[in-house]
Amino acid sequence: MQKEKVISFIRSLFKTDTFIPLHAPYFGGNEKQYLNACIDSTYVSSVGQFVNTFENSMSEYTGAKHTVAVVNGTSAIHTALKIVGVQEGDEVITQALTFVATANAISYCNAKPVFIDVDKDTMGLSPVALEAFLNEYTVVKNGVCINTLTNKRIKACLPMHTFGFPCRIIEICKICDTFGIPVIEDAAEALGSELNGKKLGTFGTMGVFSFNGNKIITAGGGGALVTNNTMYAEKAKHLTTTGKKEHPYEFFHDELAYNYRMPNINAALLCAQLEQLDGFLANKRILAQSYDQFFNELGIKVRTESDESKVNYWLICLELKDREERDHYLKFLNENQIMTRPIWQLMYKLPMYKDCFRDQQKNAQFLEDRIINIPSSYRKNG
């Protein structure tokens, strides 16, 4: 009986008897107009006015001084890590409960992730676990944090705002500052979320965002790096545009760099999407409230925001009582064409990261056993 009730309720929210995706994009603004303008301009690649417009609009929205648009969130993380000096053999502190791109970007620098546990309530990096690790296993020599277990430099900390819920980023930044570790916020899922009235992605040295097809706003792909550090912004622009020195016609590249530039045609889509973001957020907040009321009556917890935070509800999360109930929900909802996904497998369970350092990961395992995402799309008539 409960199965049928859940299926009927979700279908009533999305007003369809057909397949319900987890998070579909919605193009209801100026997307076609801006795309046509981009095509008519013939500047559809990495140069064009929409890239500049998007970067300015993103800075205005987040409150960051600078935005650099790139091809995806992974490239934004990779670039940020390079800027703070992560090199081969270094280590970067992050969480095992994350999408694989977080750890992959560290590996692209030929560095190794160090996996520290998360908090149960935020699903993001735990400052208590972070401080415990740093106090027990590291020393600071000449301003550089050294892992005494490996004798490697810890060059950055990369916390992630899971599903748009803020981690305890203020505490994390304070701890890392004591140890001389720059903080890069993986805010790939957190555009529009706030902590104490401040947008996520703007607490650390740099913040990164993703505009993949399933994100709250999208250009089919795309990413961005934001920072208040002008030197870092200039370096990011240089690194992501193949290290080319400005010149009217000569090609001179002064360092090994990357072709991570966002095409103007993608930026055109993003300009239109960003214009609608406030409406998307309001729409999804109503959806989250509807889910919370319904599942509360069934004794099932919907993850909701804390008093000091404002969450974008990118993907709405159910917390089930154990792994058996989790698997039960995943099976019957997906079998009934309602797309539902588990949280990610913990990174150290993947073959390429099985030998990385990790602490006990009790909270991360608790969440892996219980959290699922349910359909969270913008509803046109919602």
Closest by Cα among 108, 113, 124, 111 to 75: 108
Sign of the CA dihedral running 164, 303, 306, 11? positive
Q: Which CATH number applies to 31-275: 3.40.50.300, 3.40.640.10, 2.102.10.10, 1.20.1250.20?
A: 3.40.640.10
- At residue 32, the pLDDT reads 98
Cβ-proximal residues to 197 (8 Å cutoff; 6+ apart), any chain: none
pLDDT, the chain, mean: 97
- Exposed, middle or buried, 382 (CB in 10 Å: 0-12/13-18/19+)? middle
Is the pLDDT assigned to residue 220 strictly greater than 80?
yes
Please give the residue that has the higher pLDDT: either 248 or 190: 190
Is the pLDDT assigned to residue 105 strictly greater than 90?
yes
Is the pLDDT assigned to residue 1 strictly greater than 80?
no
**What CATH number should be reported for the domain whose range is 2-28+277-374?**
3.90.1150.10
What is the DSSP pairing of strand 91-95 with strand 138-141? unpaired
- At residue 228, the pLDDT reads 98
Residue 160 is classified by DSSP as B
The model's confidence at residue 305, banded by pLDDT at 50, 70 and 90, is very high
* pTM summary value: 0.97
The model's confidence at residue 6, banded by pLDDT at 50, 70 and 90, is very high
The model's confidence at residue 248, banded by pLDDT at 50, 70 and 90, is confident
Q: Domain coordinates of the chain in residue numbers?
A: 2-28+277-374, 31-275
Question: Looking at residues 343-363, what average pLDDT do you find?
Answer: 98
Question: Looking at residues 245-271, what average pLDDT do you find?
Answer: 94
Q: How much of the chain, in percent, has pLDDT values that exceed 90?
A: 96
Q: At what angle do helices 31-41 and 49-62 cross, to 10 degrees?
A: 140
Q: Residue 235: which region, alpha, beta or left (left: phi > 0; alpha: psi -120 to 50)?
A: alpha
Is the pLDDT assigned to residue 124 strictly greater than 80?
yes
Is the pLDDT assigned to residue 382 strictly greater than 80?
no
